[in-house]
Amino acid sequence: MLSLIQKIENIKQQKHFKGIRIYTNNELDILKKTLFKSYSILAPKGRLVLITYHSLEDKVIKDFIKHTDKSIQFLRISLSKKNF
């Protein structure tokens, strides 16, 4: 799959391919299930570190935080190219 992605040079084509991959692999639903399972086994005052690579993942995580315990402390650090 990586070789196929590397052959796709057009950014628009890359975005379409990424969308198809995310949908086909059911990645966002798997992420949601994993978040809730991780939260359910997290020790009191435990830490869960999450790294996102695109806005769809970021939205899933924000929704997760919004619908779970309100006492969760959320520290967001952006490592986008804009910060360097």
Q: Which tokens hold the place of 40?
A: 């359910």
pTM for the whole structure: 0.65
Above 90 in pLDDT, residue 84?
no
Q: Round to the nearest angstrom and report the end-to-end CA distance of the chain.
A: 30
Range of the domain at 65: 2-83
Number of structural domains in the chain: 1
Give the pLDDT mean for 56-67: 87
Number of neighbours of residue 32 by Cβ within 10 angstroms: 14
Cβ-proximal residues to 65 (8 Å cutoff; 6+ apart), any chain: 72, 74
Q: Which strand (E) or helix (H) includes residue 61?
A: helix 55-66
pLDDT computed for residue 26 by the predictor: 87
pLDDT computed for residue 33 by the predictor: 94
pLDDT computed for residue 3 by the predictor: 66
Above 60 in pLDDT, residue 83?
no
